[in-house]
Structure 1
Amino acid sequence: MSEAVLAQLMLQGAGEGADLATLRAIAEEAGELGASRALVRLGLEDAAAAKDMAELRELLGAWRDAKRSAWKAAVGWAVRIGAALLLAGLAARFGFWDWVK
């Protein structure tokens, strides 16, 4: 919707005397200014911000990998414990303890 509004405003400005190239340049500058302000508010305006963001992405990826591995290990252990309990139940049901004695 904002693109349509911007396009309409640019056409209106062109109709009232401003040329289309000037209006496009104004819109581009306004966009860059808004983006710069947003980066300043987020604390990402300095030169080290790109490196910081890359490190944060790497850390987030490592966290996701660790979380996935922990879940896989927990499920694996739960399956093993369930299988052991099932085998113990079957052994008790069929009198395996009597055979051992």
Structure 2
Amino acid sequence: MRVLRFSAIAAGAAILLYGAVGLLTEPQIQQPGNVAAWLAGGVLLHDAVLAPAVFALCWLAARHTAPRSRRILAGVLLVAGATLLVAAPILLHGRVAIR
């Protein structure tokens, strides 16, 4: 278990380093500080808005559903949330966010 954990941490650190080097050496990015602010804003938005909203919705759903159907509801909400994140730019702006 210790070897598996170390391998997962090492792989994650390598991927993080690869992404950071790619971001900093990309010639199209003129102001890396703006990218850092955007990433920090994403973390802040997730921690201050998205996570509490999901927690509140799950708490409400758990109170108003039978114990047998909670797993199914959790799966449905997970898939619906992921689909909404991908589809939101198209629905709101009529374009794909990833270029």
Settle same-fold status: TM greater than 0.5. no
What TM-score, normalized to structure 1? 0.32
What TM-score, normalized to structure 2? 0.33
